[in-house]
Amino acid sequence: MLNDPRAAVRLVREIEGIALRLAPRRVTLMEVCGTHTAVIVKSGLRRLLPKNIQLVSGPGCPVCVTPPGLIDAAITLAGRPRVILVTFGDMLRVPGGGGSLEAARAGGADVRVIYSPTELFALARENRSSRIVFFSAGFETTAPSVAWTLMQAERSGIENLFVIAANKLLPPALEVLAQAPDLRIDGFICPGHVSAIIGASAFEAVARTHHVPAVVSGFEPVDILLAVLMLLRQVQAAKALVEIAYMRAVTFGGNRRAQVIIRTVFKRVDSEWRGFSLIPDSGLGFTKGYARFDAVMEAGMAVESGRPAPGCMCGEILRGVKSPEECGLFGTTCTPETPIGPCIVSSEGTCAAHYNQKTAGIDDF
Amino acid sequence: MRNLIEEIFVSAFSNDILCELGDSAVIRSGSAGKLAFTTDSFVVKPLFFRGGDIGRLAVCGTVNDLAVAGARPRFLSVSMIIEEGFPISLLKKITRSVTAAAREADVVIATGDTKVVERGAAEGIFITTAGVGDIPEHVSVGPERIDVGDAVLVNGFIGDHGVALILGRGEYDFKSDLESDVAPLAGMIESILMVCPGLHFMRDLTRGGIAAALNEVASASGKAIEVDEAAIPVRHEVSAVCHLLGIDPLNIGNEGKCIIICPARDCDTVLAVMQRHEYGRTAAVIGRVIEYGKAVVIGRTAIGSKRIIDMPSGRLLPRIC
C-alpha cells in the first residue's frame, strides 16, 4: 500500500485538483527533514507535483547545520594524543573551516564511525587509557540514546567518555523560518522520527503563533504525498493547524519516557546553526549532574564561531532562500567528490540532490 | 578511487590495452588468439563471513572479471601476504576455500607467491589473484557494441554480499541469516554465450553495486539506460538493513552478480538460460538501453516517477537520522 503506485496516483490527482483551484498562487512547502529530502529525490516525487506546488528543503540534515567551528573543534580534539574521536557516518566528510574529520583520519587521527551511541560503552571500556570523545550531532531523534548512554556511563563509573554536545532542537528553527522576511513558507512537512520523540504538539507554536500549517509525515513516498495533500487542504481553507499524516508512529504527546531521559542529561541552550547564527533555546547542553561529560569543557577549549568557505551559500540554501544553482561554487569547485560546503556531502543534502539532477539534465526526460 | 586510478596510474602506465579500463585486459597473443588477463587484490574484513571467505572471494573475483570479458577462465596465480602470527589453521581453511572455488570454476592455479610481513603490517591476510582466459574468436563484448533497444538483465538478488559483510563485521547489532552471494559465474556465462554468442556487454557488480556498474556502462557506451527499479531483485532483509542505515541497495557491493546487455530479440532466451543455472535462478530483466542523448542511468521509481540513479561517491556511510 505504502509503495503502491495506485495510491500515489490517487493522491497526486487530489493534489492536482487543489493546486488548480489555488492557481496561479504558488504554494511553497518545506520538507524540514533530510531523510524526507532523500526520499523525495529517490522517488522522483517533485516531478509528480503540479508546477505551482513547490517543495523546498529545510535545515533538517544534522550534519549540514552543525557550525564549522564545532567541526574544527572536533578535528582539534581528534588530533590530541590518546583521543579516539567517534562520530556518526555522514559527519565524517563534512567540511569545517579548514578540513574534515575524514581528512584528519587520513592524517593519522583516530576517528571512528559508529551507528548507535550504545556502542560508546564498549569502546570506553576497551580503551581505558584513551579519552573517547563522541561528536554528538543530531536532532531530538538521537538525543535520547546519547542521554541514556551517559546515564549508564554515570552509573557504571566510566570516566573516559566525553561528548561534544551538538544536538539541536527543530521547533525553534522552524519558528525562525516561519517568520523569515526573505521566504514565504506556506506549510511545513514535519519530521516523523523527531515527532515520534517530542510529539506533534511541539509544532503548535509554529502553526498557532506564526500561522504556518504543519503536518508530520512518515518516510514512504506515499506518506509524503499525503502530507502535501493535507497541507494544501489547510492552505485552501486558510487554516494553520498541526496534523499527523503518520499516525502509525507519531502521537501528539510523543514518547514521554524518552523526553524524561533527555531532560535528565540535557538542558536547552542557545545554539548556533550553520546559516542561521544563534537560535535561542535550540540546542542541548549538559545539566549540572552531567557536566563532567562535556568534552569541550574538559579539554579547556573555546569553540570559535568558525567560518564557512568563501562563496559557500550552504547557509542560505539551508534556510530555503537560495537554490543550489545560485551558488557560484555549485557543481564547479564544490561537488560530492570535493565538497566545499556540507549540503553536497550527504544524499540528504539539498545540493547533492540538485547536483545529480543537474549533471543529468533532468528537466528534459 | 576512480580519480586516483586515472590521475596516477593510467597517466603513468598509459597504453592502448590498459586505457580500455575493462574488467580484464584483452590481448592478442600470436597463435593463442584473444586472451583476457586480469588481476585483483582482496583485503576484505572480516576474513570469514556468512556464505564465504577471502579465499573464495579471491578466486571468484578474478574468474568473474575474466568471464564478463567473454573469456573462458583457464589459469590463476594466487599471492598471499600473511601477517606474522596468523593462525595456520585459518590459513589452511582459506587455502581449502581457494582450491574448492578454483575446482568449481574449472581453473588451474598455475603459480603463486607467499610473503610473511611483521605483525601489524597486514590485517591477517591479503590475497592477490591474477588470471588468464581465452576468448573465443566469435565472441566480442564491449561497451561500443551496446545499441539502443538492448535489454539489460541481472542474474539475481543484489546487495547480499555487501550487507552480509556489514552484518559480519558486527558493527551493528542486527541479527540475520543472510549469506554473501560470492560465486564463480564463468559456467553460467558460458551457457549464455552458447545461446547468444552475439551478446553485447557484461559486467560483474562489485564495489559500488549495480548503480556504479550501470553508470560505468552508460558512460563507456555514451548511451542512456532506463531501469525499472521495482524489477531489480532485492531481498527484503537487504532492503530493511539498507533502509535503517540510510544506504541505497543499488550502491551495495556484490560478488556473484553481473549485468548482461543483449539485443532485445535474445532477451527471453538469455533469461531462460540464466534462470536454469544455479547462480541465476532469480535473474530478471531490469531495463533497456534508450535514446536520450546523454550517458545517464534513469530509474523508474516504485510510485511511477523517474529519477537519476547516480554514481555512488566516496565510501558508503550510514546516515545520522
Closest-CA distance of chain A to residue B298, Å:
9
B222 touches chain A (CB under 8 A): no
Q: Where in chain A is the domain with CATH 3.40.50.11740?
A: 68-169+255-299
What is the reported pLDDT for A364?
Answer: 41
Reduce the DSSP state of residue B129 to 3 states and report it: strand
A interface test, pick of B305, B309, B315 with most A CB neighbours within 10 Å: B305
Tell me which chain B residues have a C-beta less than 8 angstroms from the C-beta of A195: none
**Residue A172 and residue A59 in contact, taking contact as beta carbons nearer than 8 Å:** no
Closest-CA distance of chain B to residue A11, Å:
11
Reduce the DSSP state of residue A208 to 3 states and report it: helix
Query: What's A294's DSSP letter?
Result: B
Tell me the pLDDT tens digit for each residue of A259-280: 999 999 999 999 999 888 799 9
What is the reported pLDDT for B320?
Answer: 66
**Domain boundaries, given as residue ranges, for chain B:** 1-135, 143-308
Predicted complex ipTM: 0.80
C-alpha B49: how far from chain center? 18
* pLDDT digit string (tens) for chain A, length 365 residues: 667 789 999 999 999 999 999 999 999 999 999 889 888 888 889 889 999 999 988 888 888 899 889 999 999 999 999 999 999 888 898 888 778 999 999 999 999 998 888 889 989 999 999 999 999 999 999 999 999 999 999 999 999 999 999 999 999 999 999 998 888 899 999 999 999 999 999 999 999 999 999 999 999 999 999 999 999 999 999 999 999 999 999 999 999 999 999 999 999 999 999 888 799 999 999 999 999 999 999 999 988 877 778 889 988 888 888 888 899 999 888 988 788 888 888 766 788 877 866 655 555 44
Q: Which residues of A182-212 are buried (b: 16+ CB within 10 A; e: fewer)?
A: ebebbbbbbbbbbbbbbbbebbebbbeebeb
Taking residue A172's Cβ as centre, other Cβ atoms within 10 Å add up to: 22
Tell me the pairing of strands B34-42 and B25-28. Answer: antiparallel
**Residue B305 and residue A47 in contact, taking contact as beta carbons nearer than 8 Å:** yes
Cβ pair B314:A93 closer than 8 A? yes
Tallying the residues shown for chain B, one arrives at 321
**A&B contacts, CB < 8 Å:** 109
Tell me which chain B residues have a C-beta less than 8 angstroms from the C-beta of A33: 321
Q: Which residues of A121-137 are buried (b: 16+ CB within 10 A; e: fewer)?
A: bebbeeeeeebbbbbbb
Q: Is B131 left (phi over 0), alpha (psi -120 to 50) or beta?
A: beta
What are the φ/ψ torsions at residue A30 (nearest 5 degrees)? Answer: -105, 120
- Given B307, B310, B314, which is nearest A44 (Cβ)? B307
User: A24: cis peptide before it, omega within 30°?
Assistant: yes
Closest-CA distance of chain A to residue B302, Å:
6
Tell me the pairing of strands A242-244 and A131-138. Answer: unpaired
Q: Is B202 left (phi over 0), alpha (psi -120 to 50) or beta?
A: beta
B1 touches chain A (CB under 8 A): no
What is the reported pLDDT for B20?
Answer: 78
Q: Which three cell numbers stand for residue B194?
A: 552458447
Cβ pair B319:A115 closer than 8 A? no
Type of residue numbered A76: T
What is the reported pLDDT for A35?
Answer: 87
Cβ pair B313:A3 closer than 8 A? no
Residue with cell 564545532: A70
E strand or H helix at A33, and its extent?
A: strand A27-33
B307 touches chain A (CB under 8 A): yes
Beta-carbon contacts of B167 under 8 Å, excluding residues fewer than 6 positions away, are B50, B174, B176, B178, B241
What is the C-alpha to C-alpha distance for residues B153 and B214, in angstroms, rounded to an integer?
A: 11
What is the C-alpha to C-alpha distance for residues A284 and A271, in angstroms, rounded to an integer?
A: 8
What is the C-alpha to C-alpha distance for residues B41 and B129, in angstroms, rounded to an integer?
A: 6
Closest CA to B164 of B312, B276, B52, B17: B52
Beta strands, E only, B43-104 = 48-49, 52-53, 72-83
Chain B, window 277-306: residues with a beta carbon less than 8 angstroms from a chain A beta carbon? 292, 294, 296, 298-299, 301-306
For A68-169+255-299, CATH gives 3.40.50.11740
Query: What kind of fold does domain B1-135 have according to CATH?
Result: 60s Ribosomal Protein L30; Chain: A; (3.30.1330)
Q: Which three cell numbers stand for residue B44?
A: 576484505
B32, burial (CB in 10 Å: exposed 0-12, middle 13-18, buried 19+): exposed
Closest CA to B155 of B262, B263, B312: B262
Type of residue numbered B114: T
- Given B172, B248, B308, which is nearest A362 (Cβ)? B308
B245 touches chain A (CB under 8 A): yes
Beginning with the edge strand found earlier in the chain, give each strand of the sheet holding A187-191 in spatial order: A53-60, A27-33, A187-191, A214-217, A242-244
Angle between helices A34-43 and A221-236 (to 10 degrees): 110
Closest CA to B181 of B275, B99, B254: B254
A interface test, pick of B4, B307, B315, B316 with most A CB neighbours within 10 Å: B307
Q: Where in chain A is the domain with CATH 3.40.50.11750?
A: 5-61+170-244
Residue of chain A whose Cα is closest to the Cα of B290 = A365
Tell me which chain B residues have a C-beta less than 8 angstroms from the C-beta of A111: none
Residue of chain B whose Cα is closest to the Cα of A39 = B246
**Residue A346 and residue A138 in contact, taking contact as beta carbons nearer than 8 Å:** no
**Residue B192 and residue B264 in contact, taking contact as beta carbons nearer than 8 Å:** no
Whether domain A5-61+170-244 has CATH 3.90.550.10: the reply is no
* pLDDT digit string (tens) for chain B, length 321 residues: 777 888 888 888 888 888 777 788 998 877 778 999 999 999 998 999 999 999 999 999 999 999 999 999 999 999 999 999 999 999 999 999 999 999 999 999 999 999 999 998 988 999 999 999 999 989 999 999 999 999 999 999 999 999 999 888 877 777 788 999 999 999 999 999 999 999 999 999 998 999 999 999 999 999 999 999 999 999 999 999 998 888 899 999 999 999 999 999 999 999 999 999 999 999 999 999 999 988 999 999 988 888 889 888 766 776 665
Closest CA to B160 of B241, B271, B272: B241
Closest-CA distance of chain B to residue A243, Å:
22
CA–CA distance from B21 to each of A11, B38, B76, B203 (Å)?
Answer: 47, 11, 20, 12
Angle at B202 between CA B198 and CA B205, to 5 degrees: 165
- Given A34, A47, A221, which is nearest B321 (Cβ)? A34
A317: Cα within 13 Å, side-chain hemisphere: 27
C-alpha B319: how far from chain center? 26
Query: What's B9's DSSP letter?
Result: I
Three-state secondary structure along A130-189?
Answer: CEEEEEEEECCCCHHHHHHHHHHHHHHCCCCEEEEEEEECHHHHHHHHHCCCCCCCCEEE
Beta-carbon contacts of A12 under 8 Å, excluding residues fewer than 6 positions away, are A48, A49, A225
Query: What kind of fold does domain B143-308 have according to CATH?
Result: Phosphoribosyl-aminoimidazole Synthetase; Chain A, domain 2 (3.90.650)
Query: What's A98's DSSP letter?
Result: S
B interface test, pick of A4, A39, A49, A90 with most B CB neighbours within 10 Å: A90
